[in-house]
Structure 1
Amino acid sequence: MTDTRANASPSAVARLELTLDRIRSLEMEGSRSFTAVFADSAQREAEAADQRAAAGSTRGPLDGRIVSVKALFDVAGTVTSAGSAVLRRLPVAARDSAVVANLRAAGAIIVGKTQMTEFAFSALGTNPHDGVPGNPRDRNRAPGGSSSGAVVSVVDGMAEIAIGSDTGGSIRIPAALSGAIGFKPTSGLVPTVGAFSLSSSLDTIGPIALSVSDCAAADMVLSGQRTPSGLRPASLGTFSLSVARGRIFERCEPEVVNAFEHAIQRLRSYGVRIAERSIDAALDDLAQIDRIGTFPSIEVAATLRDLGLESLDGVDPKTRVRIEAGEGILAVDYVRMMRLRRAAVQSFEQSFAANEVLILPTTPIRAPLLSAVEDDATFHELNGLVLRNPRIANLLDCPSISLPLPLDGLPVGLMLIGRRNTDRRLLETASTVDSMLQRGGHANDIEPF
């Protein structure tokens, strides 16, 4: 008689035990990736998930999955420090943020809070207050941010799915630099209640995982959908890709360009329709906003004021200088910025052809050495460079996903940008593209998830 237990998936309790061992291991980056570990409550959640599984009453695809959450989300009974020493003196949160509540309702096991850059206001992953986890591919390099601990927790096996925030690329940048998948939804589809706000205009919340299907399942839970369905990869002929040629490719490392062009060739070999077009007109629209100011610089100052922070003393100088850049923006100019953005969003949305998805490198460079970004000038230069491509989707309010390209060296990310409010369709397309790139599968041969 065959022992079916050998083919069974490990229980939630068993997987959690392995996860906690990795977090505690001196050989891993757990101490720098997590700002809090919820071992006791996670154990109770894992036991409950196993009981539901045994009874055949699971709550969906995230039931029993081990999830980390970024340190800017309220978790009842903990302080929401958002990566900042000056916020550690805040009172503990009275209740969970909306997304944490959604995760718990779906049966997810919340293993801990992950490290992030201060106020989520930089893209390389550095933090002088909580430490910096090394990039999983090279511990001497930056993991990317601001969801830095989030991506390391997933790639290093300390969580199965991580929940982060993306205001200018803070999910997709670490995914690209560290070799994971990161999804940013259209604004407003996932509630931001109970999350520290860097920019009320641009903040979005999404997952980092090692598969598109996990990202899709997490997105459905985060957005509060009660009847999650499996992800069906898009069939050939139901989508087309457009390479966003032009300024997006300036200052790209040769290794990034080579990996991207090889990916394009491979997708074409499987019959994917790929055209080329420029989005420089949209970039010109965004440049008009940038000449006035940036939304995060202005809006995070309002968040800090609401939290009772009257001074920036104790804030990392690299973060402080960016906040201070918004102090001189007049209210009338802030209103102009919002109007220009609304017009740019509408114009860009109308520019999409039916079922069109933009494809471009997530970041123009690979992960820089941590020692190189200690210098302020180099930090600000590289920080701006890695933000350049992904922030387009935030300012133009589009769903976007970063997929890892199959390479032996430092990771390179490939980014897809969809038309506003086509999130599920983008995930279906991303599933097909990722399968072709990673496993060489043909779109018509890919089974539904």
Structure 2
Amino acid sequence: MNDLIATRDHLSPGGSAALAAELERAVSVAASATCSKAFLTLQKDAAKAASGRAGVRALPLAGLPVSVKDLFDVEGEVTAAGSTVLADAKPTSTDSLAVARLRAAGGTVIGRTNMSEFAFSGVGVNPHHGTPANPADPATPRIPGGSSSGAAVSVAAGAAFIGLGSDTGGSIRIPAALCGIVGFKNTARLTPLHGALPLSTTLDTVCAMTRSVRDAVLAHEILADRRVVLARKPLAQQRFAVARTQMLDGLEPAVAQAFDAALATLRDAGARVDEIALDAIHDLGTIQATGGFAAVESYAWHRQLLASRGIGYDPRVRIRIERGAGIKAWEYLDLVQARAAWIARVEAELQGYDAVLSPTVPMVAPPIAQVAPGAERDEAFFRVNAQLLRNTSVVNMLDGCAISIPCHAPGTLPVGLMLWHGALHDDGLLDTALAAEAKLAAARGE
């Protein structure tokens, strides 16, 4: 493991007894009503297992609890991806590389988390296992966002220090924004997909949710096995872009208000904020008109399973996977080439900017009842799903990196501010996010 950013300063001394107490508290939270339906399996003996590991407190995660999205292989367990059609599959014999790296860093896996079936939704609804409620509103059960729904709830509720998940079109940043936590999507090539069930091999990114940007830096260093270089660049020396095209359309009033307040705070700190058109975003609809990478690449993986067990799929997931059956080889190759040309155009327009600023999603979390499973709610589900994925999916098509940080006022439903850029701008983006997070927290009186 490379030299990692220090994180153990938040842990009180006390050796294995303190570690066991911390893990017992985490498991207790995971088993509570706050995390209802967030975990599909729970390792109730996690504290005992971790306390017996020699030298665990010298490791970067020092035994801290980690939740694992049901997309990743964990030795001795079945990887079902939130579905029932794989429930009788053989348990895996090894950990996925992401899980192995978290364990090697001292992390304690406390359980597998719920998700949108096969990671094909930004809403977080699951008809097989139920939908975990967003902890941000105890009064009204609201969606957690997806597809990494249980991972988000586990972190937001305090059961997990790191929620391991994946991001293909926004599946880390969407739930982070809706639940009021931090979600970092790194440049896809920096983290290994080995042992993760695929949705789109082109767009899938292994990444995580945490409760702070500092913890996101640590999680990325572990998952990517690399050192993040932080320049500590002051906000007064930074230049941001706000993309007008699409990203600001149809914002709910609470999101618009929080986003405008965040921009004002950054400007007050001396940052330069420019509005730019970024008209290339309009072209994504044409580029992906045949169905996009997720449809064709997921169908390639699922086609035999659909033939034998298709009736067991969530109908909302199955219909989108089956769209890939009609995509021709030449259309797929055209898509690959069009994306490469589009990336070059966008990267040229972003030259000179430290980050682009956008609302992560255009809405606060709607009630689960509006989009719960049922044909009578399909129209509402697909409308909400498209809105949630609208801004975040731009970054996946860009092969870029992005982070969502909370920017809402205390006592209001969570709103996420997304900072994003092109490929391999990860370190600079994390550096910027640290500074922005601190300034936004100070403005909220935290």
Measure, in 1, the Cα distance between the counterparts of 2:223 and 2:304: 26
Measure, in 1, the Cα distance between the counterparts of 2:202 and 2:212: 29
Establish whether residue 414 from structure 1 lines up as the match of residue 410 from structure 2: no
**How far has the Cα of 1:441 moved from its partner?**
10
Measure, in 2, the Cα distance between the counterparts of 1:203 and 1:254: 32
SS at match of 1:90: coil
Establish whether residue 199 from structure 1 lines up as the match of residue 200 from structure 2: yes
Measure, in 2, the Cα distance between the counterparts of 1:123 and 1:86: 21
Measure, in 2, the Cα distance between the counterparts of 1:254 and 1:406: 12
**How far has the Cα of 1:245 moved from its partner?**
1.4
1:216/1:231 contact within 8 Å kept: no
1:98 paired residue number: 97
1:22 paired residue number: 29
2:246/2:282 contact within 8 Å kept: no
Q: How does 1:180-259 map to 2 (within 5 A)?
A: 180-225=181-226, 228=227, 233-259=232-258
SS at match of 2:124: coil
The amino acid of 1:326's aligned partner reads: G
Cα gap change, 1:47 to 1:14, in 2 (>3 Å): farther
2:408/2:416 contact within 8 Å kept: no
Count of residue pairs the alignment pairs up:
425
The amino acid of 2:418's aligned partner reads: M
The amino acid of 2:317's aligned partner reads: T
Q: How does 1:150-165 map to 2 (within 5 A)?
A: 150-165=151-166
Q: How does 1:38-53 map to 2 (within 5 A)?
A: 38-41=43-46, 43-48=48-53, 51-53=55-57
**How far has the Cα of 1:38 moved from its partner?**
2.1
Measure, in 2, the Cα distance between the counterparts of 1:64 and 1:99: 16
The amino acid of 1:59's aligned partner reads: L
Cα gap change, 1:233 to 1:88, in 2 (>3 Å): farther
Q: Residue deviations 1:194-221, cap 9 Å, x none?
A: 0010000100011101100101100010
**How far has the Cα of 1:285 moved from its partner?**
3.2
Measure, in 1, the Cα distance between the counterparts of 2:215 and 2:64: 10
**How far has the Cα of 1:33 moved from its partner?**
0.5
Measure, in 2, the Cα distance between the counterparts of 1:111 and 1:339: 42
2:40/2:114 contact within 8 Å kept: yes
Measure, in 1, the Cα distance between the counterparts of 2:309 and 2:216: 38
2:200/2:298 contact within 8 Å kept: yes
The amino acid of 1:21's aligned partner reads: S
Measure, in 1, the Cα distance between the counterparts of 2:110 and 2:366: 29
Q: Residue deviations 1:116-146, cap 9 Å, x none?
A: 0000000111001111110111251101000
Q: How does 1:324-343 map to 2 (within 5 A)?
A: 324-343=322-341
Please give the TM-score of this superposition, normalised by the length of structure 2.
0.91
2:228/2:427 contact within 8 Å kept: no
1:36 paired residue number: 41
2:175 paired residue number: 174
Measure, in 2, the Cα distance between the counterparts of 1:347 and 1:230: 27
2:358 paired residue number: 360
Measure, in 1, the Cα distance between the counterparts of 2:38 and 2:51: 21
**How far has the Cα of 1:347 moved from its partner?**
2.0
The amino acid of 2:19's aligned partner reads: A
**How far has the Cα of 1:306 moved from its partner?**
7.0
Q: Residue deviations 1:150-183, cap 9 Å, x none?
A: 0100111111111110000000000011111000
SS at match of 2:368: coil
Which segment is superposed worse, 289-298 or 427-436? 289-298
**How far has the Cα of 1:233 moved from its partner?**
3.8
Cα gap change, 1:124 to 1:229, in 2 (>3 Å): closer
**How far has the Cα of 1:59 moved from its partner?**
2.5
Cα gap change, 1:44 to 1:340, in 2 (>3 Å): same
Establish whether residue 59 from structure 1 lines up as the match of residue 64 from structure 2: no
The amino acid of 1:433's aligned partner reads: A
1:435/1:441 contact within 8 Å kept: no
Measure, in 1, the Cα distance between the counterparts of 2:210 and 2:256: 24
The amino acid of 2:12's aligned partner reads: A
**How far has the Cα of 1:315 moved from its partner?**
0.3
SS at match of 2:324: coil
Please give the TM-score of this superposition, normalised by the length of structure 1.
0.90
SS at match of 2:310: coil
Establish whether residue 430 from structure 1 lines up as the match of residue 436 from structure 2: no
The amino acid of 2:116's aligned partner reads: T
Q: Residue deviations 1:264-307, cap 9 Å, x none?
A: 111111111211112222x1332222212221111112222477
2:4 paired residue number: none
1:402 paired residue number: 404
Work out the percentage of aligned pairs sharing the same amino acid. Answer: 41
2:113 paired residue number: 114
1:291 to 266, 271, 289: 289
Cα gap change, 1:65 to 1:306, in 2 (>3 Å): farther
Cα gap change, 1:346 to 1:246, in 2 (>3 Å): closer
The amino acid of 1:163's aligned partner reads: L
Q: Residue deviations 1:11-40, cap 9 Å, x none?
A: 221110101111223x3224x011111233
Q: Residue deviations 1:212-249, cap 9 Å, x none?
A: 01011000100123xx4685643234431111113221
1:246/1:278 contact within 8 Å kept: yes
What is the CA RMSD across the aligned residues, in angstroms? 2.0
Measure, in 2, the Cα distance between the counterparts of 1:301 and 1:114: 24
1:3 paired residue number: none
1:42/1:110 contact within 8 Å kept: no
Measure, in 1, the Cα distance between the counterparts of 2:59 and 2:367: 43
1:13/1:47 contact within 8 Å kept: no
